[in-house]
Amino acid sequence: MATGQLFSPTTQALFYNYKQLPIQRMLDFDFLCGRETPSVAGIINPGGDGFQKLFFGQEEIAIPVHSTIEGACAAHPTADVFINFASFRSAAASSMAALKQPTIRVVAIIAEGVPESDTKELIGFARANNKVVIGPATVGGIQAGAFKIGDTAGTIDNIINCKLYRPGSVGFVSKSGGMSNELYNTIARVTDGIYEGIAIGGDVFPGSTLSDHVLRFNNIPQVKMVVVLGELGGRDEYSLVEALKQGKVTKPVVAWVSGTCARLFKSEVQFGHAGAKSGGEMESAQAKNQALREAGAVVPTSYEALEIAIRETFAKLVEEGKITPVKEVQPPQIPEDLNTAIKSGKVRAPTHIISTISDDRGEEPCYAGVPMSSIVESGYGVGDVISLLWFKRSLPRYCTQFIEICIMLCADHGPCVSGAHNTIVTARAGKDLVSSLVSGLLTIGPRFGGAIDDAARYFKDAYDRVRIDRHYPGIYIAGLTPYEFVESMKKKGIRVPGIGHRIKRGDNRDKRVELLQRFGRTHFPSVKYMEYAVQVETYTLTKANNLVLNVDGAIGSLFLDLLAGSGMFTKQEIDEIVEIGYLNGLFVLARSIGLIGHTFDQKRLKQPLYRHPWEDVLYTK
């Protein structure tokens, strides 16, 4: 493996299994280092194509998303690093697929717990094809001022503190990703910083070894000294011992093997990593430290003394003229994410949406402040949910029951009405449920199902209007008489909404209207608006037998009685409810049930494309 450095300021990677935070950290590091191009060329998300928006400094960029490794490699032939964030279950297969791509040179496997047999297979393939595997169970690696893998070195603040935004003179390799962060900081304090750092991973069989990277550092001119942090368990460190004895490493090596405290325990201890378990005296931290010391590495007497050993080794190289300390540079300021800045109180930003009816930020959604669990446990029905979401209050049971009755009575009116007809035609054209539903809903308006609001509006205006008595000037009378109301509408050329039916007559009343009137008279405190509508009907029936109060008029007038009689709404709120279109909302909600039913009916019956018959069309000039 020896060769030289793995990364450069132009290195680009493919990121497998989209994770927003580590990718954004890579891009922030790129910006910090002054890279001209993002280090992430593409993202591989099995089963999904498209783009992901992320930030490159102040600029928002779109990174391509590919569904396959092969497709991503073909699209980005210069990306030679594969960063694998797959779970331990699929990490081996996806890593092998990447290694088999001719463009991929380095594979970093983040997951821990990858089966050892799979790891051995990956290692064998990589070595046979002159490729590098970092991991499994690794945080990755970094070349200061050039490129980093995923979450390596942690936050931007830590990266700045460790001076990783520009190259230093020290090559560092460790088994532990967490301890790498600690050592990056230590090295930055007592030297000019890291040139390259690698965490090989804590599993029993790492894809590359400590000595692999030390020998590689030895071939990189910019690396003047090497720091190694090993751990008890395994015999990886002994390959480094042999390399030192054979003179293959010519640069100073400062090393420490952690885990010396293991001897304090009476039984064998398993530390954090799978490989951090001593299998005998040779695998103990003490034995490894002694062997490294005897081979020529600088090995302190304790971890606490490691910092001193690094400082002294670096100082000696400076004194000998082998290192010219890097001049410090000021890194650019990384723009702070808006959400982070808001949380820290640094900025304030206006919201884009106002919502007063529901809140999903807590442990469970709330409707008008009522938790979902309370709604279910209290036995609330659809009417209660509508009262919370539409009216922002819990209405009395007779009100919510009336709402439910309206929904039931208006759910459908057969296949021949315009809404159902449109839905049926659309469904038979092979369109989906939503398209079929919407085509029916779009017919709702003044001529079909949309007269509830108008009925309520005109009945309310006529009943509430204050007028001067024509026989006794100075005397004010509340409300228009049915005669005055109907005749005034006639003069304006407006049909009275809620009055009239194509089928029903004075001697064949709409059963739905009768049910609604009976319920209102039985349960409502007052039905003054409904009774006024009945008086209007009595007058209109003198003109034509089909000018009966229809379901729109019944619902519109009774809903006025609900709002006024419940005592829970102000006059201003009632006017606003009628004006906004709440009442038509009831018809839209109810009829959606029937339109969905018609869609399913046509799909179930496998009905063919509808074509209107010629004989039903008047062709004329």
Catalytic residue set: 273
**Alpha carbon distance 456, 295 (integer Å):** 96
Q: Which helix (H) or strand (E) holds 52?
A: strand 50-56
In which residue are the tokens 């039903």 written? Answer: 616
**Alpha carbon distance 276, 4 (integer Å):** 28
What the block records as the tokens of 175 is 């088994």
Let me know: does 200 contact 141? Beta carbons within 8 Å. no
Q: What is the DSSP string of 589-602?
A: HHHHHHHHHHHHHH
Q: Which helix (H) or strand (E) holds 170?
A: strand 170-174
Let me know: does 91 contact 16? Beta carbons within 8 Å. no
Amino acid, res. 297: A
Q: CA distances (Å), 414 to each of 411, 419, 421, 423, 434, in order?
A: 10, 10, 9, 12, 20
Q: β-pairing, 81-84 with 106-109?
A: parallel
**Alpha carbon distance 347, 356 (integer Å):** 24
Q: Of the candidates 321, 372, 92, which has an alpha carbon nearest to the alpha carbon of residue 205?
A: 92
Angle between helical axes of 451-464 and 582-605 (0-180°, round to 10): 160
**Alpha carbon distance 406, 500 (integer Å):** 19
Contacts of 170 (CB under 8 A, 6+ apart): 187, 191, 192, 193, 194, 195, 223, 224, 225, 226, 227, 310, 314
Q: Which helix (H) or strand (E) holds 215?
A: helix 210-218
157 dihedral zone (left: phi>0; alpha: psi -120 to 50; beta):
alpha
In which residue are the tokens 């591989």 written? Answer: 44
Work out the end-to-end distance of the chain between its first and last CA atoms, rounded to an integer number of angstroms. 87
In which residue are the tokens 């000039």 written? Answer: 621
